[in-house]
Amino acid sequence: MAFARTCSVALVGVEGVVVEVQADLEPGVAAFTLVGLPDKSLTESKDRVRAAVVNSGAAWPQKKLTVGLSPASVPKSGSGFDLAVAAAVLGAAERIDPRVLADIVMIGELGLDGRVRPVRGVLPAVLAAADAGYEQVVVPECAAAEASLVPGVSVLGVRSLRQLIAILADEPVPDEEQDEHGRPDPLLAGLRVPGTGAATGMHSAGTAHDRGHDLADVVGQTSARTAVEVAAAGGHHLFLEGPPGAGKTMLAERLPAILPRLGRQESLEVTAVHSVAGLLPPGKPLIDVAPYCAPHHSATMQALVGGGQGIARPGAVSLSHRGVLFLDETPEFNSQALDALRQPLEAGHVVIARSAGVVRFPAKFLMVLAANPCPCGRFSQRDDLCECPPAVIRRYQARLSGPLLDRVDLRVEVDRITRTELTAVGAGGESTATVADRVRAARERAVERLAGTPWCTNSEVPGRELRSRWYAVPGAMDEAERNLERGVLTARGLDRVLRVAWTVADLVGHDRPDATDVALALQLRTGVPRGVPMAIGALT
């Protein structure tokens, strides 16, 4: 029977569906038909596969060839099916034993000369294959390290179709010539998306933001440093407002370095998103540090939450999953794009509906907003340097909607640096290492307290659970409740104050939040002084 089948994976967002690739040869005029809802790039695989098979030394069957992708109702896109199509055709032509192919998942693009090129999304594709019960996966050689991150799967990395044919046919494996030393490997181009990388601010913290960025470099700003530490310890969103040059961007860039390293499951989630987006750092298949994403204020809604033509691509909120999303000059962003952040802020994921299908991306991130107080940036209650009319200032500040700001736990005014602070000689503030140790200890206390629940940080715990299962010291919430009655806080705001108070208690080592912890949480939320020390070290 001139029939063979093997498997590949179709990606829908970061979720994969195992696709059976079937090849059937019948007598008749030589033709190649591809069915199963393929897109344009997949339809073009007919020519790539034919050239690759011939240039690999195998004979192309001169019969009527039909290749089917099942299930046919699932949209299929990309060039990652090339390797599976070629193997199925060779199996139907009896160049390879069809029985060997049946339980193997193959992922990879073929060059016209038979080389196997990498594609984006290898990790989520292999995860989908493992979930479906497959134990053998064939991937491009340069993507084998990424595929090997999935436990329980045997990974075979091949550099060319010739090597795959020899391995499956139990023949001597030919050696493939390596590229000249010192020249970039052209095969790695399949792992990158043009127009992405460091220039866009969408990259991992491990590649650029944990080297040479120390909190000790930040001059003054005790309140802002405390807010950054509390945000890292509890996963709370942060809003920094202050004049240009006060250090807002410096603080945001140093936030990823004080976050704990990602756990195994978190690393796989982050790596899967970056793999689909084509943003995996070269030579680093697993991202184990918090990502940092800082899109420009001209970014569109699709760039922030995801989208694009055809199957949606992950946006900045997904690229910063388990990390930091920094929006500098926040009032300059499109207001509709900012309001689109409300859903992922609450749900921890984003659902994008397009004509080609519905895609769900993870989006559990720590958001940092930074803004000037007015268009010129010099507005302050302490001096009279600003020349902006009051109406212009109100209109500028109103670009950040109330519902969005209500989802931000910490709001801090970053003051202008004085000459005395800038020229002072002596020890600066605490270093990143010192703060990171305190943040890690606070996270461990929260994890121990929340054991047996689906939550790991204080920011994730619903308000009703905090009020019914984990109580503050009696009387500690009185001032916060009075703020609720006066309309200073909303009901959501009161819950967020309680969450921040628990984070402060974890940082200073208290079993339950007391009045001082709640007062600091209120000051970080409302900006109104409460007569408590702003440095965490002063409270311990």
So what's the pLDDT on residue 406?
A: 85
Q: How does pLDDT run across 326-349, given as a tens digit for each residue?
A: 999 999 999 899 999 998 998 899
**Which helix (H) or strand (E) element contains residue 12?**
strand 3-12
So what's the pLDDT on residue 31?
A: 93
Tokens representing 526 are 């409302």
Write the secondary structure of 471-504 as one string of H (helix), E (strand) and C (coil). CCCCCCCHHHHHHHHCCCCCHHHHHHHHHHHHHH
Mean residue pLDDT of the chain comes to: 87
Whose structure tokens read 């969450």?
A: 499
Q: How does pLDDT run across 172-222, given as a tens digit for each residue?
A: 988 877 654 445 455 555 455 444 443 345 444 444 445 567 888 888 788
CA 486/CA 232 separation, integer angstroms: 30
So what's the pLDDT on residue 243?
A: 87
Kindly state the average pLDDT of the residues 414-418. 81
So what's the pLDDT on residue 190?
A: 47
Question: What's at 393, amino acid-wise?
Answer: I
Q: Give the residue among 124, 77, 44 at the shortest CA–CA distance from 312.
A: 77
Other CB atoms within 10 Å distance of the CB of residue 258: 24
pTM, two decimal places? 0.87
- Quickly state the pLDDT bin for 279 (edges 50, 70, 90): confident
Q: How does pLDDT run across 349-377, given as a tens digit for each residue?
A: 999 887 767 889 999 999 999 999 888 88
- Per-residue pLDDT at 145 exceeds 80: yes
So what's the pLDDT on residue 352?
A: 87
So what's the pLDDT on residue 383?
A: 65
So what's the pLDDT on residue 89?
A: 96
So what's the pLDDT on residue 463?
A: 82
- Per-residue pLDDT at 12 exceeds 50: yes
So what's the pLDDT on residue 150?
A: 94
Tokens representing 186 are 């052209």
So what's the pLDDT on residue 379?
A: 81
So what's the pLDDT on residue 540?
A: 58
CA 338/CA 301 separation, integer angstroms: 8
Inter-axis angle of helices 248-258 and 432-449, to 10 degrees? 60
Of the segments 90-99, 184-193, 299-308, 522-531, which one has the largest average pLDDT value? 90-99
More confident residue, 422 or 402: 402
Q: How does pLDDT run across 472-514, given as a tens digit for each residue?
A: 889 889 988 898 888 888 888 888 999 999 999 999 989 999 9
CA 260/CA 262 separation, integer angstroms: 6
Q: Within a 13 Å sphere around the CA of 420, how many CA atoms are in the beta-carbon half?
A: 0
User: Which of 58-62, 145-149, 288-292, 486-490 is predicted with the least confidence, judged by mean pLDDT?
Assistant: 486-490
